[in-house]
Structure 1
Amino acid sequence: MAGALFFCAVTLASLPGCALFGPSETIQLKQATAEQLTALLQEQAGEVRTIKGLFSAKITGGMLPIGQRVQGTVFYQRPNAIRLRGFSAVGSEIFEFVQIEDQFKLRLPTMGREVTGRPSEADHLGQLTRPFQLSVWAMSGIIGTQVVGPDESVRLTEDGSRYRLDVVTAPGQNGTAPFVARRIWFDRRNLLVVQEERLSPSGDVEATMQFDDYRAVGGGVEVVSAVNGQAPAPDKRIMRPFAIRMTDGQGSGSLQVTFHELVPNEPIKPSELGRV
């Protein structure tokens, strides 16, 4: 019996493509410079002029005072107009958050509350507004990660199978020193953004966003590759994450968003964007 088992083992090992002894799959990692990744962010953001989405969200840690599970819609129009609405399982409206240019409105019908102001003032307008501002950061996954500004600089680091791009602010008018405001991780297999951190001037992490389950949406766009500078691809598909996890760096909880539908570059009515 032992001899028969030994013969079988030798026979299996000699078969071509044997899973036990065959060569392991080699993952091809792409090469890119800081300038190419910066251009890639610009390219990916330019793919989307508008976007409409349906999502469900799971909230942990009491981050939002609206329950733990929400169904929602998002409407976005470049350059800076976004509307988020959340509904209960029976369809009643739980919240509405509208941000257009430098003004926002937060309405909580179930609490009888409404707050308006500027995004820069959100932290001073009560604890209700911060989670919704963080949610707008989380939506950068479908809108396109914020591009590097003309006065910002970048530093690139290889981080295993990822690249990490540190975005450094310019010196402030009041003499404040430059600091790393964002860290962006790219998967080197496809150069898609898989994680972003927002940092305070003191270096504390304000929020962490993780992007997963990328899928092609829309009918494609014509762009020149930011990595190799080749001629435009006639039907380059728009890739967007259908799973986003946002963790509050101040410890108030996390938000896990799963998209069920994303429709880019279709006209959006003024009524769909709401008012502030």
Structure 2
Amino acid sequence: MKVRVGLKLRIIFILLPLIQASCISTKRTIPVDARPLPALTASRTDLLHSLEDQSKRIHTLQGTIVLDASSGGNVKTEVMTEYRQTKGFVLVERPNHVRLKIQAPLALATVFDMVSDGREYRVSIPIQNKFLIGDLDAPAKDKNAILNLRPQVLITGMFVDITRYLNDPQVKSTFEEFREGRRSFYVFSFINVAGPESHLVEKLWIDRLNLQVTRKQVFRNDGKVETDVEYSGYSAGGDIRYPQVILIQRPIEDYALKMTFQKTSVNEKLTEDAFNLEQPSGSELVRLEAEAKASTGTTPY
């Protein structure tokens, strides 16, 4: 009997260090490049007030830009085959007036000049000797990414504006936190609850590193992403901070436009002829008409 007890004690003493070792926690150092980035904290109310204020601050904008455009590919990962590092300028007088003029890289001759007053848009293409007058809802069917661009797409991409949602009782918003890789976000979703089925209208992604909007997604009634915009390089200092790099992607129409601002001025008075564009003598006039919208298409929201 004593032999058995002694044997059991020896076994316990042998196993005890192993049991203790297994209970000791180990510390693992997380690499610096894998640690979560700093995340600022803000309330839903404060962020909504900030977004509303941001929506109203810019009335006019003029900027010189470097433009990259592509269709049938990803502007962020593939080589541009249409417009790459092309210079131009953009003028905007909100809510509806916009002008985008693009020049050839070497000759600095105008290759594309588009203006819109919110009712129709006009496009001059000197290298093709064409002058287009189009309905704002004319479908984008051209293989050329620039010619697929519509004025309202440009304005939607260049500005964050939630005022129309705040003033509409049929639009509700949700608020959530989201983590993607090292980055943390606050995400607002604006939902149209009118009618038998509610549908997502827009999502705004606010980077908690600096509390700036870094992404905007606009959705069709059928839930498909119509416009996906990324914002980066916000100007430092001043009361109005504006992104210096804007990437507008239209996945359904399969084209993308990236604008890198070299110089930007806001709320300065524009000249009276800033949005005048007449048909050049001898150019071919082409009219683009709108097609009937499908039930899955976009509505005001």
Amino acid at match of 2:64: L
What is the TM-score normalised by the length of structure 2?
0.66
Whether contact under 8 Å (2:228, 2:248) holds in the other structure is: yes
- Matched residues, percent identical? 20
Residue 86 of structure 2, aligned match among 70, 83, 87: 70
Query: Which residues in structure 2 correspond to 1:108-123 (within 5 Å)?
Result: 108-119=125-136, 121-123=137-139
Residue 167 of structure 1: CA displacement? 1.4
1:32 match: 43
1:193 aligns with 2:213: yes
Query: Which residues in structure 2 correspond to 1:197-208 (within 5 Å)?
Result: 197-208=217-228
Query: Which residues in structure 2 correspond to 1:6-85 (within 5 Å)?
Result: 27-33=38-44, 35-61=45-71, 67-85=83-101
- Alignment partners' CA distance in 2, 1:272 and 1:163: 38
Residue 251 of structure 1: CA displacement? 5.9
Partner of 1:37: helix, strand, or coil?
Answer: helix
Larger Rg: 2
2:271 match: 269
Relative distance call for 1:156 and 1:65 in structure 2 (3 A) is: same
Whether contact under 8 Å (1:157, 1:164) holds in the other structure is: yes
1:249 match: 251
Residue 180 of structure 1: CA displacement? 0.9
Greater share of residues in strand: 1
Residue 118 of structure 2, aligned match among 86, 93, 101: 101
Residue 98 of structure 1: CA displacement? 1.3
1:165 match: 188
2:296 match: none
Partner of 2:210: helix, strand, or coil?
Answer: coil
Amino acid at match of 2:214: V
Residue 156 of structure 1: CA displacement? 1.1
Whether contact under 8 Å (1:30, 1:189) holds in the other structure is: no
Relative distance call for 1:107 and 1:39 in structure 2 (3 A) is: farther
Residue 157 of structure 1: CA displacement? 1.5
What are the ranges of 5 or more consecutive residues in structure 2 without an aligned counterpart? 1-30, 74-79, 279-301
Relative distance call for 1:275 and 1:154 in structure 2 (3 A) is: farther
Q: Deviations over 1:175-233 (max 9, x none)?
A: 5733112111011233211001111111111121100011137xx4xxxxxxxxxxxxx
- Alignment partners' CA distance in 2, 1:216 and 1:264: 14
Residue 240 of structure 1, aligned match among 239, 242, 251: 242
- Alignment partners' CA distance in 2, 1:81 and 1:26: 39
Whether contact under 8 Å (1:83, 1:274) holds in the other structure is: no
1:227 match: none
What is the TM-score normalised by the length of structure 1?
0.72
Whether contact under 8 Å (1:49, 1:265) holds in the other structure is: yes
Relative distance call for 1:88 and 1:168 in structure 2 (3 A) is: same
Amino acid at match of 1:42: E
Residue 258 of structure 1: CA displacement? 0.8
- Alignment partners' CA distance in 1, 2:96 and 2:103: 24
- Alignment partners' CA distance in 2, 1:190 and 1:196: 16
- Alignment partners' CA distance in 1, 2:257 and 2:64: 16
Partner of 2:163: helix, strand, or coil?
Answer: coil
Aligned length: 228
Partner of 1:183: helix, strand, or coil?
Answer: strand
- Alignment partners' CA distance in 1, 2:72 and 2:92: 26
- Alignment partners' CA distance in 2, 1:87 and 1:53: 14
Residue 40 of structure 1: CA displacement? 2.0
Whether contact under 8 Å (1:30, 1:190) holds in the other structure is: no
Relative distance call for 1:65 and 1:112 in structure 2 (3 A) is: farther
Amino acid at match of 2:173: V
Relative distance call for 1:148 and 1:193 in structure 2 (3 A) is: farther
Whether contact under 8 Å (2:233, 2:244) holds in the other structure is: yes
1:16 match: none
Aligned-CA RMSD value = 2.9
